[in-house]
Structure 1
């Protein structure tokens, strides 16, 4: 269980937003700035995301299990908000861009030279790309480049059937292929998308890379795994988490220019989650080819897995964080062995109805794996779906976190030793 001795953190700044925030991320190319995506649902419609862990048996939980399977077409909109961190202790609003659909996820491209490019996904299965270029005379630094829906992206191969709808739930850029990303849907699919240019030529491969039986909540990608048969082929590992309580992963080989996708290693399921898998964070490969991976779940637990090249993954350690673990963000990773540990990672977790946590995970010199909560931020009065940290000082963590129904944006800090 969670360590109650961890530091309880107070905010140094907070503000109520106009619309409920669903996601937030700092821009790596311009680290004083961050974006907030919002999700506005018309009254009398169902809620956009579950409020409790999926295994609860009360009436509210039963309703929540159907939250992204609406009985009617819903009316949603949203916005992208641009903020600047000022002086480390306050936040200044810069820009507000209304969006025709509600936003569920947004991420900046992690690849060098493209870190000012941001992708968003929405409640109408649209993928949008923006360029962020702040300047001294520019009051609207976020520039829209292009938007396409799933039908257009797939060349008409995928579209919602009558009386139903498709939502994009999450998006993830490839860590070393700047023109490649993955998206997930409420229909349980994980798709790969190729962006040969930012403004045109986008293509979604209509064959899912991974399939779940319920909503595919999250996706993440590992770097290239080595040389393939063709210089234009890319081989990498893809992870996904679903409301079916499954963590699934496999290795795929993809040639976007030839529209070729194959499974190099078929998808494997990791056992051990008691509810939907909502967050996935690959850490690093080991010398033997295995990989460490951290997951979050509606069952309120954070888990460390070891994934071997072949065979089932091993759940090394887990800990309850007191709330559904919706997002995970790596703060830092230290693989330098010392007298205290073989390796250590620090992680920022967005924990739905209990706020944000800063978590330490490590392997001791005795080979034991441990989780420990370093700090807790609990001023949010509703669902904490998004948190991120300023990619600056290493000794002091500066975090912005959000909560949905009370529409709160908070700034807080934690000293790191």
Structure 2
């Protein structure tokens, strides 16, 4: 029996942007607004120089090597508002000196108007979003630092190379901590004692990959939150080396030093780079249930024990590389159909967006079901998010990179 591909959905609104969109997120503090980050690889405007003629007898290998030229990128942050009539209006455009690769609002209830962005020049920037009557520029820049001063000079790019921040993730309950990943394969923890100063990036990587570290996520289910006590949490990362890696860290705010308490281990089973990680919950035995996405086009459900081998519970191909995963809702109230169910929005690169249910059925078996698929995008779908304030149906904004498309679509949910 063939798997149900899900309902095909059409857009109800679309617009071409000026620059390629790389990420998008609704603001939880002001849920009718959302931000789009863009990534633009600038063309070299300089006229090409003719090659130097080589005289007879000259040794070309003796000619001085040309230094490697780093790529020039810029970007922007776009602010939009979704109106009740499903119209989307532009609110603000903030040009950025570097291309943006990721952005996320702080999940802490007191600071859900604070947004972090990371860029192609290894910068971390913090913004506050505060719309109001007569406010034409609600997105306010608070501070930006790059990896060298944040690490106290311990980390810097070598000559002819560059460091990019590829992703960022807030700690889910500790508002002043986040993690970033780099193209050099490292996952770093960052402490923000204030929004506009004193940032500290811990130069010892929390996790290391042999290739690009595409994604990171944190789980706070192990200890205290906003207190002076030690905070223990799990850190998960995915890399271009096809590895999902995870370990446990304890952090004491007083000495500001994270300590590895359980060394990072690998979860095998991916056939290409691991590009998305979504922790769901911790089971009674202490194992973490999470979902991953990969370049190999599969979404997978894992059970990761603190010790011992991880278990791949179920997987399913979604037709495109699964770049981002966003939790729509998690139902852990058992019924006649399932013991638990997670509803997820997936950005699937060259095949558009998918809405899927991942669940454990009443008989204990695990399943993945596609509910809906949006395929109006003609290029890489790197970012999708849903309007959190509407409960009658799922309302989604999704983006595609090379055709610079921003779309709005809806799906009736069972």
For structure 2, the residue ranges without an aligned partner over 5 or more in a row are: 46-66
Give distance in 2, aligned partners of 1:375 and 1:145.
39
CA displacement 1:205-254 (0-9 Å, x = unmatched): 000000000000000000141369x9442210000000000000000112
1:235 to 232, 235, 246: 232
What corresponds to 1:301 in structure 2?
298
Give distance in 2, aligned partners of 1:19 and 1:224.
39
What corresponds to 1:316 in structure 2?
313
Give distance in 2, aligned partners of 1:404 and 1:71.
27
CA displacement 1:340-382 (0-9 Å, x = unmatched): 0000010000000000000011101110000000000000000
1:146 to 143, 162, 167: 143
Superposed displacement of residue 2, structure 1: 8.4
Larger Rg: 2
Partner-residue secondary structure (3-state), 2:309: coil
Superposed displacement of residue 44, structure 1: 6.6
Superposed displacement of residue 86, structure 1: 0.8
TM-score (norm 2): 0.92
Contact 2:355 2:373 in 1 (8 A): yes
> Structure 1 residue 201 and structure 2 residue 201: aligned?
no
2:99 to 99, 102, 122: 102
Cα RMSD after superposing both structures: 1.7
Give distance in 2, aligned partners of 1:2 and 1:36.
37
2:339 to 339, 342, 351: 342
Higher alpha-carbon deviation: 392-401 or 242-251: 392-401
Superposed displacement of residue 178, structure 1: 0.1
Superposed displacement of residue 256, structure 1: 4.4
> Structure 1 residue 19 and structure 2 residue 19: aligned?
yes
What corresponds to 2:217 in structure 1?
220
Give distance in 1, aligned partners of 2:157 and 2:253.
24
What corresponds to 1:111 in structure 2?
108
Contact 1:88 1:398 in 2 (8 A): no
Give distance in 1, aligned partners of 2:113 and 2:3.
38
Superposed displacement of residue 263, structure 1: 1.1
Give distance in 2, aligned partners of 1:44 and 1:239.
38
Give distance in 2, aligned partners of 1:379 and 1:317.
28
Give distance in 2, aligned partners of 1:226 and 1:378.
42
Contact 2:228 2:253 in 1 (8 A): no
What corresponds to 2:169 in structure 1?
172
Give distance in 1, aligned partners of 2:269 and 2:85.
40
What corresponds to 1:333 in structure 2?
330
Give distance in 2, aligned partners of 1:2 and 1:107.
37
Give distance in 2, aligned partners of 1:19 and 1:2.
39
What corresponds to 1:55 in structure 2?
none
CA displacement 1:39-71 (0-9 Å, x = unmatched): 0002379xxxxxxxxxxxxxxxxxxxxxxxx95
> Structure 1 residue 373 and structure 2 residue 409: aligned?
no
Contact 1:166 1:185 in 2 (8 A): yes
Partner-residue secondary structure (3-state), 1:113: helix
Superposed displacement of residue 4, structure 1: 4.6
Superposed displacement of residue 88, structure 1: 4.6
What corresponds to 1:59 in structure 2?
none
For structure 1, the residue ranges without an aligned partner over 5 or more in a row are: 46-69
Contact 1:2 1:319 in 2 (8 A): no
Give distance in 1, aligned partners of 2:221 and 2:317.
32
Give distance in 1, aligned partners of 2:71 and 2:252.
36
Superposed displacement of residue 3, structure 1: 3.6
